């Protein structure tokens, strides 16, 4: 007969179990009755109390209950007696279990986050979920405070006081940020003489809006272009809708008005009126306004030339030459007829 485990650590008012294994020797078969003998205040029960050993082995479970008030931090021996039969002819074997009794755990609570990490974008709001559950009969109000690292760039709004019992209590904190980056948010719960915390990593995504050049030009009636680039920051993956604002006298368009996560779009502008114009490209849906200002320098197209001459002068000269040639031919014809 052996016992596993053979050492029990039991809190006052609680119980612990161990398994008793009976092994048949030399073809033994029969009923074994189990009994526990230990310190007053330790109550042993067996399931089953009588084991029918008809094969190589059989098991039973001994449960040891500790009464409240039993002295703690002292080792106790529990003798397990297995007997087949009664009187002097009985077959008896014993096993020893060591037990130590400890004070019952104090009422306490635990706090856990629903997720170890969350992500959202700077144009949005986020939410942290958490659970606070009482343990060992804990029932008290818990005060919730927060610690954010770095301390600037992220704000939280949490319930300041939560009533906690043995049943899990759910809570949430709303988050707001317009500053991209990584933040460590620690929720600190204090109450009933205890303080516990849970840490959650918060990632705030964003994007940068840049241009290939803030100055571009075109001749009057022609088009000028500039490339607009969206670069993600901290895992940004959202849709960005872009618009372009122009003053009177210039017309502009974007090759793409929606970009998801990252990408480029071409800004094309044209004007028939010479001048300098300020053109603004922006993403209106995002609280953090990111703008690029472009200057469009529109110039009149230089007049075309023929053989380096203005067209009017060229055609005047050609006309004169044609007229002169015709006159010479006419004179020659007249002179020929006279002769």
Q: Could you tell me the CATH number of the domain that includes residue 283?
A: 2.60.40.2310
- Sorted by sequence, the CB contacts under 8 Å of residue 175 that are 6+ apart come out as 120, 125, 126, 127, 128, 154, 155, 156, 157, 185, 202
User: What is the rounded CA–CA span in Å between residue 35 and residue 51?
Assistant: 12
Higher pLDDT, 43 or 14: 43
Q: Is residue 87 part of a domain?
A: yes
Closest residue by Cα to residue 9 from 57, 61, 107, 75? 75
Same domain assignment for residues 76 and 139: no
Last residue of a domain, one of 67, 102, 137: 102
Note whether residue 324 is domain-resident.
no
Q: Are 88 and 148 found together in one domain?
A: no
**Range ranked top by mean pLDDT from 74-78, 288-292, 301-305:** 74-78
Per-residue pLDDT at 112 exceeds 80: yes
- Determine the structural domain holding residue 238 and report its residue range: 212-299
pLDDT digits (tens, 9 = 90+) for 201-249: 999 988 888 888 778 888 888 888 889 999 999 988 889 999 998 988 8
- How many domains in the chain? 3
Q: Is residue 305's pLDDT more than 60?
A: no
Same domain, 126 and 69: no
Long-range contacts of 50-57 (CB under 8 A, 24+ apart): 51/22, 51/82, 53/22, 53/24, 53/28, 53/29, 54/29, 55/24, 56/23, 56/24, 57/21, 57/22, 57/23, 57/24
Comparing 79-93, 140-154, 310-324, the range with the smallest average pLDDT is 310-324
Please report whether residue 20 resides in a domain: yes
Q: Which among 205, 227, 257 is the end of a domain?
A: 205
Pairing of strands 215-219, 291-299: parallel
Chain Cα centroid distance, residue 134: 27
CATH number for the domain spanning 120: value is 2.60.40.10
- Which of the two residues, 339 and 322, has the higher pLDDT score? 322
pLDDT band per the 50, 70, 90 thresholds, residue 308: low
The confidence score (pLDDT) of residue 314 equals: 66
| Domain final residue pick, 143, 171, 205 | 205
273 within a domain of the structure (yes/no) = yes
Same domain, 51 and 76: yes
Percentage of the chain lying above the pLDDT 70 cut: 88
CA angle 183, 186, 187 (to 5 degrees): 140
Q: What are the φ and ψ backbone dihedral angles of 13, each rounded to 5 degrees? A: 80, 0
Predicted pLDDT at 72: 86
At residue 198, does pLDDT exceed 80? yes
201 with 112, same domain? yes
């Amino acid at each position: 007969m052996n016992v596993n485990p053979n050492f029990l650590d039991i809190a006052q008012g609680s119980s612990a179990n161990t398994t008793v294994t009976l092994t048949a020797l030399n073809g033994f078969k029969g009923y074994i009755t189990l009994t526990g003998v230990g310190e007053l205040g330790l109550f042993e029960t067996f399931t089953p109390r009588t084991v029918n050993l008809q094969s190589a082995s059989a098991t039973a479970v001994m449960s040891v209950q500790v009464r409240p008030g039993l002295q703690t931090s002292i080792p106790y021996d529990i003798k397990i007696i297995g007997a087949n039969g009664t009187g002097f002819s009985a077959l008896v074997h014993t096993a020893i279990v060591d037990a130590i009794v400890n004070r019952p755990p104090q009422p306490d609570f635990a706090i856990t986050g629903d997720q170890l990490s969350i992500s959202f974008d700077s144009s949005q709001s986020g939410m942290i979920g958490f659970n606070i559950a009482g343990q060992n009969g804990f029932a008290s109000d818990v005060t919730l405070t927060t610690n954010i690292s770095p301390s600037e760039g992220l704000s939280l709004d949490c319930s300041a006081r939560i009533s906690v019992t043995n049943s899990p209590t759910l809570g949430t904190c709303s988050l707001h940020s317009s500053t991209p980056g990584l933040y460590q948010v620690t929720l600190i719960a204090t109450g009933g003489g205890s303080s516990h915390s849970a840490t959650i990593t918060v990632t705030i995504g964003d994007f940068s809006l840049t241009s290939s050049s803030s100055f571009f030009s075109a001749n009057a009636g022609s088009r000028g272009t500039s490339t607009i680039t969206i670069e993600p920051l901290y895992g940004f993956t959202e849709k960005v809708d872009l618009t372009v604002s122009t003053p009177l006298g210039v017309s502009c368009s974007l090759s793409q008005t929606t970009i998801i996560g990252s990408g480029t779009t071409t800004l094309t502008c044209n004007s028939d009126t010479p001048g300098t114009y300020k053109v603004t490209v922006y993403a209106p849906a995002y609280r953090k306004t990111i703008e690029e200002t472009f200057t469009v320098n529109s110039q009149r197209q230089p007049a075309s030339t023929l053989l380096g001459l203005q067209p009017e002068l060229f055609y005047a000269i050609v006309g004169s030459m044609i007229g002169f040639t015709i006159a010479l031919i006419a004179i020659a014809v007249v002179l020929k007829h006279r002769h």
